[in-house]
Copies of this chain bind each other. A is one copy, B any other.
Amino acid sequence: MDSNKGHKKVIKGINPAFAKGKKQRTKQLLDIEMLAKDIIAGNHTALSRGITLVESTVLKHQELAQSLIEKCLAHANSSIRIGITGVPGVGKSTFIESFGSYLTNLGKKVAVLAVDPSSSLSHGSILGDKTRMAELSQDKNAFIRPSASGDSLGGVARKTREAIILCEAAGFDTIIIETVGVGQSETIVHSMVDFFLLLKLAGAGDELQGIKRGIIEMADAIVINKADGKNERSARLAKTAFAKALHLYPPKDSHWTPTVSTCSAIEHKGISDIWQGILSYKTLTQENGYFTTKRHEQNTYWLLQTIENSLKENFYRDTQVKEQLPRLLEQLSKNEISPFIAARKLLSLKKK
């Protein structure tokens, strides 16, 4: 594609040190225009470059990324966004490989993104790695992108949230966001998807032990994976236990009753039932209006969240605040100061 050449330069050519002239600026915006066009035309390479721009920490790139997102927003197709979580070892990669291939066979276009809480620390990326999904990564109707890295989980989340928009503009109708059961990452993924799926293994009877508080309440479906061979019976027992437990939870705002099912990702069993469940969810919530309401609420949540994070980052970046905070925390732990007085002291530093 001819236009490929143009947006290649957007990434490689934008060096903030040189991007000063008005001419240069106009040139960059023209490149962004072209990149947007290619993304909307469904060019995977362009999509990758767009996401790289979104993930860049260079201020200039961030501005261009915003302009790119603005151009893509109107073209973001209607999609279903599915969050998938589960502890390491539950078989997330195999599940997504099997589930994703099933969907592309149905003619769907599947994008797999990831929110990896460890990526904000190690700057590595465990989740969404192409090498873990050999088959799906070769599929021309699939797009796999490893987790963004960042200074904070909030930063990683923002980048993923923006990557969703670009993927949708590129025509992907099924967006899978993968995460792992650590810290806040599930809550964050839950706040950017329509449907939330919890992958589990059959355990030793006491099925709900070891599940983090709140996750059960977020799940729209619990899928017990590796229900094959000698695991089949225990998976069935686990299914009954979960179904019983779910019954005790209060009804959801979506009016959806969470489902429990078993599957064997490796043997491609139980996958179509899961997809049927998601379709039923979509029909129900589109009819009762919850689907749209939830997306609006999520947008508002992200708006407020971004402002909040920015205000906090700006505050705690202050040299004086950085210097005083540990001292005040120590006084607080000795009960020498009230939390409110400590807060006021810190806030007054910033005002000066």
Chain A positions within 8 Å of B, measured between CB atoms, are 66, 69-70, 73-74, 76, 158, 161-162, 165, 208-214, 217, 245, 248-251, 296, 299-304, 306-308, 310-312, 315, 328-329, 332-333, 335-344, 346-347
Complex Cα spacing A158 to B339, Å: 10
A-B contact pairs, 11 of them (CB 8 A): A66-B341, A69-B338, A208-B250, A210-B250, A300-B329, A300-B332, A303-B340, A306-B340, A306-B343, A308-B312, A311-B347
Residues in B whose Cβ lies below 8 Å from that of A208: 248-250
Q: A69-B340, A340-B158 are in contact. Are A332 and B299 (CB under 8 A)?
A: yes
Interface contact A339-B300, CB-CB below 8 Å = yes
State the Cβ distance, A54 to closest chain B Cβ, in Å: 10
Interface contact A339-B308, CB-CB below 8 Å = no
- Name the residue on B nearest A316 (C-beta): B307
Interface of A is mostly: helix
Interface contact A338-B307, CB-CB below 8 Å = no
Residues in B whose Cβ lies below 8 Å from that of A248: 208, 245, 248
Interface contact A307-B250, CB-CB below 8 Å = no
Q: Which of A300, A306, A312, A347 has the most CB of B within 10 A?
A: A306
Complex Cα spacing A337 to B315, Å: 27
Complex Cα spacing A256 to B321, Å: 37
Interface contact A344-B303, CB-CB below 8 Å = no
Residues in B whose Cβ lies below 8 Å from that of A303: 328-329, 332, 339-340, 342-343
Residues in B whose Cβ lies below 8 Å from that of A74: 335-336
Complex Cα spacing A261 to B249, Å: 20
Complex Cα spacing A217 to B213, Å: 8
- Name the residue on B nearest A162 (C-beta): B340
Residues in B whose Cβ lies below 8 Å from that of A308: 308, 311-312
Contact of A250 among B66, B73, B211, B315 (CB under 8 A): B211
Interface contact B73-A347, CB-CB below 8 Å = no
Residues in B whose Cβ lies below 8 Å from that of A211: 250
Interface contact A302-B340, CB-CB below 8 Å = yes
Give me 17 other A-B pairs in contact (C-beta within 8 A), A73-B336, A161-B339, A311-B311 excluded: A73-B337, A162-B338, A162-B340, A214-B214, A214-B217, A245-B248, A296-B333, A299-B332, A300-B329, A303-B340, A306-B344, A307-B312, A307-B315, A308-B312, A310-B343, A310-B347, A311-B312
State the Cβ distance, A83 to closest chain B Cβ, in Å: 18
State the Cβ distance, A267 to closest chain B Cβ, in Å: 30
- Name the residue on B nearest A302 (C-beta): B339
Interface contact B315-A161, CB-CB below 8 Å = no
State the Cβ distance, A289 to closest chain B Cβ, in Å: 14
Residues in B whose Cβ lies below 8 Å from that of A311: 308, 311-312, 315, 347
